[in-house]
Structure 1
Amino acid sequence: MRVCKHNHIQKFLNWAGTENLTPSNVLPVNKTILCNYATTFAGRTAGGTACAHISAIKGWTLHKGKAWLGGERLNAIFNGVEHRAPPSSFRNPRTPVKEAYLTFLHTNLILDGTKAADLMFFGQLHAGEVLPDSPNLPRYNPRQHPLVSDLGQPNNLGTCSLKLPSTKTAGSRGETAFITPQHSPACPLAALAEHIRVNCLGPGNPLFAYRDEVDVLRCLTRDKCVNRCNKIWGPRGIPRITGHCFRIGGTTHYLCRGVPPDVVKALGHWKLDMFLTPFPAAIPFSLVH
């Protein structure tokens, strides 16, 4: 995700160079230049792609200690870009994970991936918000991913808070997710408690660290978790999932069970109402071997 944002910023700086803009024009960048840049995406990409590029520029600007000068006109331009987006700029909706898939993981004892899968599903989380790219413990960055100490104690309803140091929408400001107990074999709070106990994790350890076959502490990575899930689900006819499929699956799960949309939005720290866009029905899932 960080590499992607860096590429977005570099692309903007390259464009600024072709427009003969000076450093003072691009940091901070004013609304007119931002709008001009946003229009370059018209006819080439979807509006969401243009928005992601501008969002990366905003994060970079604020990180440099400069004021963000964007305005409401940008939203109108994003809408215009969306209307002119070519069909090739849209990808097929991703298949949401279902609770039954998680239950099957538990029956097959996919222990090192199951706990994270439970949390991502019921917590409506992006995989990259809780799982790193490297299994190497010294490379784990607590400013990017949570520690055991970031998981709060349950309140009187059994709900726990989880501090996310960095998220897709809030960046390095981070956000707080709220994990509720579930009457399910895949209850994320029960899974986390067992995971922490079995791996003898302390407050300063990565939330999803685990002990390998020689008792060396390693970090569960996003790729390992997703690949393990795909390996067990693939033979059952389920299309390959990505880390985002857990988030949209959890959101769909709550909405289909009648949880009010505003509650789902708050629990999933959604910033927009895009989570109300209908997701494709998941492939029928059979537990028959």
Structure 2
Amino acid sequence: MLTGAYSGSTIQNYSYGVQAWHILHGLPWEMNEPEMVFLLKGAEKVAPASAKQKKRVPYTPDFMTAIKDQLNLSKPFDSAVYACLTTTFYTAAHLSKFVIPNLKSFDAVLHVKPSDIKHETDHNRLHFTIFHIPRTKVSIHGEDVSWSRQNGLTDPEAAFKHHLEMNTPPPNSALFAYRYKNGHRPMTKPAFLKALAKAAKSAGLKPHQGHGIRIGLTLEYLLRGVPFEVVKVKG
């Protein structure tokens, strides 16, 4: 039995997988939908604590400012870290779209590069920067995410401009590649999160998990009065 051993979302995914198998093979799916919803909710209630993820604490502009104060933006690595943080925050994109798992995993077909950037102006004459993600789980043709200039110390435009001036990553390299010895090194997820954790501790704060960046932007936009459906589409 899955109930009581796995999280509710895991059991739900299993049930959808079985349903998809029936549809794929042209077989009738005879489960009663209301009963399925009731059973899945019950499974979620009795899920063991070990199957539940800890709640992510959201990043906020104040938290990012505190981190910035602990970074040395005259250094290539630190300038790339802060630019990556503000970009992932204000685009509401998954962190994995902008950093790579390890130093050897960069793939120009999959990862965002400087050549994937374009600048546009909307009908209100507001400027925004678009980052094209070459490929995602739901689209082999990729998707676009964007940010616009923000007031305050977490402005992604200023941070990104500084990163480009400091590191000048090659057009077809990792977007947040930074100068290292006689060349460039791509920003990896472990290095990025380690730098944020170190900066947070130096500021006397408890480090947040990486997923808290995307959660934080959702909270920030909702607090600004942006409609939920708009935030949902952006994220």
Class of the TM-score when normalised by the shorter of the 2 chains: 0.7 to 0.9
- Aligned-partner Cα distance in 1 for 2:86–2:189: 14
1:98 corresponds to which residue?
A: 60
CA shift at 1:172, angstroms?
A: 4.5
Tell me the equivalent position of 2:143. Answer: 175
Query: Once the 2 structures are TM-superposed, how far is the Cα of residue 116 of structure 1 from its aligned partner?
Result: 0.6
The structure whose residues are more often strand, as a share, is 2
Where does 1:77-96 land on structure 2 (aligned, <5 Å)? 78-96=40-58
1:201 aligns with 2:163: no
Question: What secondary structure, in the 3-state scheme, does the structure 2 residue paired with 1:251 have?
Answer: helix
Report whether the alignment pairs 1:47 with 2:8.
yes
Give how far 1:92 is off.
Answer: 2.8
Contact 1:147 1:207 (C-alpha < 8 Å) held by counterparts? yes
Native 8 Å contact 1:154 1:160 kept in 2: yes
Matched ranges for 1:42-191 at <5 A: 42-51=3-12, 73=33, 76=37, 78-107=40-69, 108-109=71-72, 110-136=78-104, 139-155=105-121, 156-167=125-136, 170=138, 172=140, 174-191=142-159
Q: Indicate conservation of the 8 Å contact 2:169/2:184, yes or no.
A: no
Counterpart pick for 1:240 among 207, 220, 227: 207
User: Are 1:164 and 1:176, in contact at CA under 8 Å, matched by a contact in 2?
Assistant: yes
Q: TM-score, normalised by structure 1?
A: 0.65
Indicate the SS of the match to 2:144.
strand
Q: Tell me if structure 1 keeps the 8 A contact 2:79–2:159.
A: no
1:196: Cα distance to partner?
2.0
SS of match in other structure, 1:154: strand
SS of match in other structure, 1:176: strand
Letter aligned with residue 49 of structure 2: P
Aligned equivalents of 1:75 and 1:218: distance in 2?
Answer: 50
2-structure distance, mates of 1:171, 1:83: 34
| Residues 235, 205 of structure 1: alpha-carbon distance in 2 compared, 3 angstrom cutoff | closer
CA distance 1:178–1:80, change in 2 (3 Å): farther
Contact 2:135 2:141 in 1 (8 A): yes
**CA distance in 1 between partners of 2:2 and 2:117 (Å):** 41
Q: How well do the aligned residues superpose, as a CA RMSD in angstroms?
A: 3.1
- Asked if 2 retains the 8 angstrom alpha-carbon contact of 1:181 and 1:187, the reply is yes
Query: Residues 75, 134 of structure 1: CA spacing in aligned structure 2 closer, same or farther, 3 A cutoff?
Result: farther
Q: Offset of 1:54 from its aligned partner?
A: 7.1
Which segments of 5 or more consecutive residues in structure 1 lack a partner in the other structure?
1-39, 269-289
1:128–1:243 contact (8 Å) kept in structure 2: no
8 Å Cα contact 1:135/1:219 also seen in 2: yes
Q: Say which of 217, 224, 227 aligns to 1:257.
A: 224
CA contact (8 A) 2:8 2:41 kept: yes
SS at match of 2:178: strand
Structure 1 stretches of 4+ moved >6 Å: 68-72
Paired position in structure 2 for 1:22: none
Q: Secondary structure at the match of 1:82?
A: helix
**Structure 2 segments unaligned to the other structure (5+ residues):** 73-77
- Post-superposition Cα deviations, 1:183-216, rounded to whole Å, max 9, x if no partner, equal 122211222222123222343222111111x231
Shift of 1:115: 0.7
